[in-house]
């Protein structure tokens, strides 16, 4: 009897192993076909729709646009030239410079000899066909990348679906993906049209926010033999009659340690009414100001720590203030209702942030009992708590 059970157990393990191997082969073959198809192209154009859904943090955005790309003849995974266009901007790279037209402000910005790695920050490159073309060789060769594959049917059309699991990293053009310090796995579900071996959709999720976060990127109207844009469209001089050079304001400097910061007042969310908190109400307390905005991952991650910090030091001699710089009251209220913080949450803090010189988020300012700034910068847990203990 024991021998039969062992035989069945071994057969089950062998069956699972064969299934996993078949899925890996299916995935690698599908990815290889897509890589071969893309590497054979000289140019491609397509319409692009990217949707970001972050339910937990009350965020949703959509970008629609059109992309035209020419591949480098010596390295088909890199873009030799491209034109990316949405309703509000147009970015053009002509192999020597990249310029972006702001259609609303009628201004343009330009950078000569840009680093190709920087193109990954362009919204139309996020999980794009060009990014896939660039990353496919490493994805196929990556033995440490979990791959799964299957056939699926969407709107009565057959697709091959490949699922990739990237531990502590993400896809990014030129291989410059994000690398995370915490234990997070990013999942990519790539739908491939088996008739063309080209991607139709890329869905990104992760193991931490399984139900509340995803990005969906869809490619339509794909043309593998597109008409080349007009020659004049590749040069910023063509647009100078309609567009003027963008004037970049100086990045404000943070106020110095030792500066006295008083005489401010901001509305407070307290769940009761329209309270206003004034600086003189906190006289004699050590104050930690945390400047944050809605669309900021590190800001969201700091909420539990801020709550623990206020609880640890109480409110008799210490007060933590989470100051939103510019989001709408109803957006700030979403986080207030979700977090139910022990600290104070203030809004319309744009003017105060500008006065202090805050231009990046999150930024914290620690103020001693006399109103003088004793720390300003990133949320350094060790340094912040050391200063709180020394000044409380």
pLDDT score for 16? 44
Q: Please state the rounded mean pLDDT for residues 48-73.
A: 93
CATH class of 25-245: mainly beta
Which superfamily does CATH assign the domain made up of 265-391 to? Glutaredoxin (3.40.30.10)
Q: Band of the pLDDT at 24, cuts 50, 70, 90?
A: low
Identify the bridge partners of residue 352 per DSSP, sorted by sequence position. Answer: none
Give 54-58 contacts, CB < 8 A, sequence gap 24+. Answer: 54/209, 54/212, 54/213, 55/211, 55/212, 55/213, 56/209, 56/212, 56/213, 57/212, 57/294, 57/300, 57/335, 58/294, 58/331, 58/334, 58/335
Residue 13 has pLDDT above 50, yes or no: no
Q: Band of the pLDDT at 21, cuts 50, 70, 90?
A: low
Q: Band of the pLDDT at 9, cuts 50, 70, 90?
A: low
Structure tokens at 339: 């977090």
Q: By three-state DSSP, how is residue 318 classified?
A: strand
Spans of all domains in the chain: 25-245, 265-391
> Among 121-135, 234-248, 250-264, which range has the highest average pLDDT?
234-248
Identify the bridge partners of residue 63 per DSSP, sorted by sequence position. Answer: 50
Identify the bridge partners of residue 137 per DSSP, sorted by sequence position. Answer: none
Say if residue 181 is exposed, middle or buried (CB neighbours under 10 Å; 0-12, 13-18, 19+).
Answer: exposed
Residue 333 has pLDDT above 70, yes or no: yes
More confident call, 323 vs 123: 323
Residue 293 has pLDDT above 70, yes or no: yes
Residue 14 has pLDDT above 70, yes or no: no
pLDDT score for 305? 94
Structure tokens at 369: 């009992």
Residue 75 has pLDDT above 90, yes or no: no
Residues 6+ apart with CB under 8 A from 27: 147, 148, 149, 162, 163
Residue 98 has pLDDT above 60, yes or no: yes
Q: Please state the rounded mean pLDDT for residues 262-287.
A: 90
Q: Please state the rounded mean pLDDT for residues 218-245.
A: 96
> Among 5-14, 136-145, 309-318, which range has the highest average pLDDT?
309-318
DSSP string, 46-82: EEEEEEEEETTTTEEEEEEEEEEEEE-SS-TTSEEEE
Q: What is the pLDDT of residues 175-206, one digit of tens each?
A: 665 667 678 999 999 999 999 999 999 999 99
Q: What is the mean pLDDT of the chain?
A: 89
């Amino acid at each position: 009897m024991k021998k039969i059970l062992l035989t069945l157990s071994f057969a089950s393990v062998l069956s699972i192993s064969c299934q996993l191997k078949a899925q890996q082969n299916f995935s690698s073959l599908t990815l290889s076909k897509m890589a071969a198809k893309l590497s054979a192209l000289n140019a491609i154009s397509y319409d692009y729709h990217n949707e970001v859904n972050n339910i937990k943090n009350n965020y949703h955005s959509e970008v629609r646009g059109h992309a035209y790309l020419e591949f480098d003849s010596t390295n088909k995974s890199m873009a030799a030239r491209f034109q990316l266009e949405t309703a509000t901007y147009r970015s053009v790279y002509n192999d020597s410079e990249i310029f972006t037209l702001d259609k609303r402000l009628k201004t343009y910005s330009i950078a000569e000899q840009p680093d190709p790695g920087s193109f990954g920050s362009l919204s139309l490159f996020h999980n794009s066909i060009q990014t896939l073309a660039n990353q496919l060789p490493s994805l196929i060769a990556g033995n440490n990348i979990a791959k799964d594959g299957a056939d699926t049917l969407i709107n009565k059309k057959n697709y091959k679906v490949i699922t990739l699991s990237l531990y502590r990293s993400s896809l990014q053009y030129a291989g410059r993906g994000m690398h995370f310090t915490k234990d997070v796995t990013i999942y990519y579900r790539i739908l491939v049209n088996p008739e063309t071996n080209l991607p139709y959709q890329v869905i990104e999720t992760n193991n931490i926010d399984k139900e509340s976060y995803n990005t969906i990127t869809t490619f339509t109207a794909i043309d593998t033999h597109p008409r080349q844009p007009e020659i004049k469209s590749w040069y910023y001089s063509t647009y100078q009659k309609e567009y003027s050079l963008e004037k970049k304001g100086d990045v404000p400097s943070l106020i110095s340690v030792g500066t006295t910061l008083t005489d401010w007042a901001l509305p407070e969310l307290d769940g009761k009414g329209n309270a206003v908190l004034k600086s003189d109400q906190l006289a004699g307390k050590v104050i930690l100001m945390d400047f944050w905005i809605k669309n900021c991952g590190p800001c969201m991650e700091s909420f539990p720590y801020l709550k623990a910090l206020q609880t640890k030091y109480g409110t008799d001699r210490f007060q933590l203030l989470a100051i939103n710089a510019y989001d709408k009251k109803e957006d700030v209220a979403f986080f207030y209702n979700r977090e139910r913080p022990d600290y104070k949450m203030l809004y319309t803090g744009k003017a105060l942030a500008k006065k202090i010189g805050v231009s990046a988020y999150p930024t914290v300012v620690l103020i001693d009992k006399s109103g003088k700034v004793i720390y300003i910068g990133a949320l350094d847990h060790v340094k912040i708590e050391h200063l709180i203990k020394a000044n409380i």
